[in-house]
Chains A and B, each alone.
Chain A
Amino acid sequence: MTRLTKLSRSIEGKVAIVTGAASGMGRATAQLFADEGAKVAAMDVNAGPLDAVVGEITRAGGAAHGWTVDLSYKDQIDRAIGEVASRFGGIDILVNNAGISIPVAIDSAEFEAAWQRSLDVLITAHVRTIRAALPHLRKSSAPRIVNIASTEGLGATKLQSPYTSAKHAVIGLTRSLAVELGPEGITVNCICPGPIRTGMTAGIPEEQKQIFARRRVALRRYADPEEVAHGTLSLVLPASSFITGVALPVDGGLTIRNA
């Protein structure tokens, strides 16, 4: 049939940066975006697993290129994003997904180092990728920024103060930039993933996962990374032009109970 509506639900041909693309939600996002026809700029600090993800995409007929980047360093971010723009001819979508979790007590001798490293990767890197990508996003017909926060951005867990503080900050940054960049048509949103089967939760024994899911998650399970990637995809569609500044829980209902 002839289409009756104008808004496009396709990211075919769009250039999308995904940080932390070598594993978990980043890998699922890179793969989903490639499946949808986007040119994926995959960034990660781990070169081997990153090559594997890029290889999987290109062998399947998708478009992807990898950049090995330590997001704690501004010069590495600036260089990689500059190269993305020249290689693919622009940037339409930025997904700040990379994350680390360093559990640490507030009175620990290791606290200062854990705090600095956590904030470097979880919040300062977001600001830097956004600043580096902004001139290119401004030239896009549907510029989209999605920051991956966490349900820790809405609640708190003991011994996670650097992570929890940084994730709260991601939500604040998202809201602030939504207001600042909205008049230019750039949408800025974040996703708060809940219990997901990724490297970060791989150490939790299966039995503990099931107890947690039964007690605290409305849908009573852990999710696969792909279920989060679909949420991200929805926010970066050209059709999602009126959603901005939201912190969207993708958590099976964990935060309903303020858990």
Chain B
Amino acid sequence: MSASLVGQNAFITGGGSGIGLACAKAFARDGAHVTLFGRSRERLEHGAAEVRAAAATGVRVRIVCGDVALEKDVADGVAGALDAGPLTIAVANAGTGGLGPIIATEEGQWSKIIDTNLSGTFYTFKHAGRAIARAGGGAMCAISSIAGARTHRFMGPYCVSKAGVDALVRNTADELGIANIRVNSVLPGLVDTDLSAGLLNTEAVVTDYLACMPIRRTGKVQDIAEAVRFLCGPESTWITGVNLSVDGGHHLRRGPDVETFSRMLFGDDLTEGRPNP
């Protein structure tokens, strides 16, 4: 049985697909209004239709187009969410990935990942945090990754962005406890989404992931969404500043081996730390 979220109002970045969409469905199922924020109007509209089909009676579902890497877009998104009432929940989910050896990573690749994953979470916490504080309190949750807690060779910028997200979560939780705002993150391992399609389609990589997982299956977006729903709901009133792994136990072991991709894309020399002169 799920407790009610009736009267709650949630803002979700990257809400049009994958984990963000699954979170939106869980919130709407339990009665919260939801605002989906993302870059692609088409994806948001498609997602909103799915959320409406899963929603409890009286739930309002809206979409706002924008890029989390741009502060003004996020501010506008939060303002849009206020149409449904005071904001009480925010999920900083929008994220992007990339692959390659650190010694071959272009500045643009680095900043794209940091801007979206880390700065995007900062903009979301800043603007949603202000709105939730005005509402008298609530909860924010970031989607981090096992990559924030364990090294993933050849996924350096991604790992750093997620470690930054977890630090931002703890610091924001420590600052905003006084405003009755709880702030946590969920750390998924391998989950079946568009972002991870490349990993999932490569047998050697999937085999290595599963070998490191006590519960040997690929994560589902619902696994993550229910944990986010818990951390944003009335069942977790004493939980704040937590980085919660939801990964079939993968965090107990080492990070995954995606060396196959690095060899494919960058060659053996750069993968083995031998840059050409």
Residue positions of A touching B, CB distance < 8 A: 1, 4-7, 9-10, 12, 36, 175, 178-183, 185, 187, 193-194, 196, 217-220, 223, 227-228, 230-231, 233-234, 237, 239-246, 248-253, 255-257
**Which of the residues A4, A12, A218 comes within 8 Å of B174, measured between beta carbons?**
A218
Q: A179-B249, A245-B249, A248-B244 are in contact. Are A253 and B236 (CB under 8 A)?
A: no
Write out the residue numbers on chain A whose beta carbons fall within 8 Å of the beta carbon of B242: 248-249
Min C-beta distance of A188 to chain B, whole Å: 9
Min C-beta distance of B204 to chain A, whole Å: 21
Q: A7-B226, A183-B216, A230-B235 are in contact. Are A253 and B241 (CB under 8 A)?
A: yes
Write out the residue numbers on chain A whose beta carbons fall within 8 Å of the beta carbon of B220: 242
The complex places the Cα of A77 from the Cα of B177 at a distance, in Å, of 41
Interface string of B23-45 (1 = CB under 8 A from A): 00100000000000000000000
**Which of the residues A237, A242, A252 comes within 8 Å of B177, measured between beta carbons?**
A252
The complex places the Cα of A228 from the Cα of B237 at a distance, in Å, of 9
Is A253 a contact partner of B174 (Cβ separation < 8 A)?
A: yes
The complex places the Cα of A181 from the Cα of B166 at a distance, in Å, of 28
Is B227 a contact partner of A253 (Cβ separation < 8 A)?
A: no
Is B177 a contact partner of A218 (Cβ separation < 8 A)?
A: yes
Top 6 A-B pairs, shortest CB-CB distance: A182-B214, A218-B177, A256-B241, A230-B235, A242-B223, A227-B238
**Which of the residues A180, A234, A253 comes within 8 Å of B230, measured between beta carbons?**
A234
B215 at the interface (CB under 8 A from A): yes
Interface size class, chain B: 35 or more
Is A9 a contact partner of B173 (Cβ separation < 8 A)?
A: no
Write out the residue numbers on chain B whose beta carbons fall within 8 Å of the beta carbon of A181: 214
Is A245 a contact partner of B177 (Cβ separation < 8 A)?
A: no
Write out the residue numbers on chain A whose beta carbons fall within 8 Å of the beta carbon of B234: 230
**Which of the residues A4, A220, A231 comes within 8 Å of B235, measured between beta carbons?**
A231
Q: Provide a sorted-by-A list of 29 A–B residue pairs whose CB atoms are within 8 angstroms.
A: A1-B54, A6-B222, A9-B226, A175-B252, A182-B215, A183-B214, A183-B216, A217-B177, A218-B176, A218-B240, A218-B241, A219-B238, A223-B238, A230-B237, A240-B226, A241-B223, A242-B217, A242-B247, A245-B214, A245-B252, A246-B245, A248-B239, A249-B241, A250-B236, A251-B238, A252-B177, A255-B241, A256-B170, A256-B241
Interface string of B165-187 (1 = CB under 8 A from A): 00000100110111010100000
Q: A4-B25, A218-B177 are in contact. Are A242 and B246 (CB under 8 A)?
A: yes
Min C-beta distance of A237 to chain B, whole Å: 8
The complex places the Cα of A180 from the Cα of B253 at a distance, in Å, of 12
Is B235 a contact partner of A242 (Cβ separation < 8 A)?
A: no
The complex places the Cα of A116 from the Cα of B173 at a distance, in Å, of 38
Write out the residue numbers on chain B whose beta carbons fall within 8 Å of the beta carbon of A219: 177, 180, 182, 238, 240
Chain B residue at minimal CB-CB distance from A191: B239
B4 at the interface (CB under 8 A from A): no
Write out the residue numbers on chain B whose beta carbons fall within 8 Å of the beta carbon of A256: 170, 173-174, 240-241
The complex places the Cα of A25 from the Cα of B230 at a distance, in Å, of 19
Is B246 a contact partner of A243 (Cβ separation < 8 A)?
A: yes
Chain B residue at minimal CB-CB distance from A257: B174
Is A253 a contact partner of B173 (Cβ separation < 8 A)?
A: yes
Q: A218-B173, A252-B177, A255-B241 are in contact. Are A244 and B235 (CB under 8 A)?
A: no
Min C-beta distance of B238 to chain A, whole Å: 4
The complex places the Cα of A251 from the Cα of B93 at a distance, in Å, of 24
Write out the residue numbers on chain B whose beta carbons fall within 8 Å of the beta carbon of A234: 230, 235-236
Min C-beta distance of B256 to chain A, whole Å: 16
The complex places the Cα of A41 from the Cα of B171 at a distance, in Å, of 40
The complex places the Cα of A159 from the Cα of B165 at a distance, in Å, of 36
Min C-beta distance of B254 to chain A, whole Å: 12
Min C-beta distance of B234 to chain A, whole Å: 8
Min C-beta distance of B6 to chain A, whole Å: 15
Is B1 a contact partner of A9 (Cβ separation < 8 A)?
A: yes
B64 at the interface (CB under 8 A from A): no
Write out the residue numbers on chain B whose beta carbons fall within 8 Å of the beta carbon of A231: 235-236, 238-239
